[in-house]
Amino acid sequence: MINKVVQNADEAIRDIQDGAVLMLGGFGLCGIPENSIAALLKKGTKGLTCISNNAGVDDFGIGLLLQTRQVKKMISSYVGENAEFERQLLSGELEVELIPQGTLAERIRAGGAGIPAFFTPAGVGTEVAEGKETREFNGKVYLMELGLRADFSLVKAWKGDTAGNLIYKGTARNFNPMMAAAGKITIAEVEELVPAGELDPNMIHTPGIYVQRIFQGSNYEKRIEQRTVRG
């Protein structure tokens, strides 16, 4: 087994250069690669295109990279929890491609599966369809959408081994598995790192073949965007 372990987040993201296209796992603040984002913030890498369901909140997650103007373009499906993201979008400071959430998920999955394009009914007759090819199948109009790939995918898992096999926990699974497959280089940070062979093969969500670097993260805040409790 190839040992894919790197020492920390700084070493893992060492060759992410200005202008790179990144995929960042997570849904809201659940399952985001906190340590890798912090390392990018410290490194000061700029001109980034970030593919993520959303951009976290103003002071956490990708929101931190937006504050420091390190992000040139966001490819996302939701902006509602991040006021700075919304401000930069409306002011024209940030390039934004908004995609229906299911279409975003499928574009990423298609990219990882080597599928260059597919047809979907989502977005037909809206701004989403502008400039895109349409075809009719069985009397219904569909849009052609392209698969998405990234220079680097940054994902977060609950547990991983030295060969890069990953297990996600609960809803933190979200976009992480499909993004892990769609990056030219996939960097995984995990809460627990174990020797190869210790994970039950039947429980593995992302096979190590998709992962090039892995490290054990630390100091996870695991914030909750909106905490709702009974009165």
What would the mean pLDDT of 94-103 be, rounded to a whole number? 94
Dihedral of CA atoms 213, 52, 37, 71 in degrees, nearest 10, equals 120
What would the mean pLDDT of 6-28 be, rounded to a whole number? 97
Q: Give the domain CATH number at 46.
A: 3.40.1080.10
Q: Does residue 229 fall inside a structural domain?
A: no
Looking at the chain, the whole-number percentage of residues with pLDDT higher than 70 is: 100
What would the mean pLDDT of 110-136 be, rounded to a whole number? 96
Q: Does residue 226 fall inside a structural domain?
A: no
pLDDT band at 107 (very low <50, low <70, confident <90, very high): very high
Q: What is the pLDDT, as a whole number, of residue 52?
A: 96
Q: Does residue 157 fall inside a structural domain?
A: yes
Domain range for 16 is: 9-117+147-216
Task: Convert the pLDDT of each residue in 52-85 to its tens digit.
Answer: 999 888 889 999 999 999 999 999 998 777 888 8
Q: Does residue 142 fall inside a structural domain?
A: no
Q: In total, how many domains does the chain have?
A: 1
Q: What is the pLDDT, as a whole number, of residue 80?
A: 76
Q: Does residue 59 fall inside a structural domain?
A: yes
Q: What is the pLDDT, as a whole number, of residue 81?
A: 78
Contact 20, 45 (CB under 8 A): yes
pLDDT band at 44 (very low <50, low <70, confident <90, very high): very high
Task: Convert the pLDDT of each residue in 124-166 to its tens digit.
Answer: 999 999 999 999 999 999 999 999 999 999 999 999 999 999 9
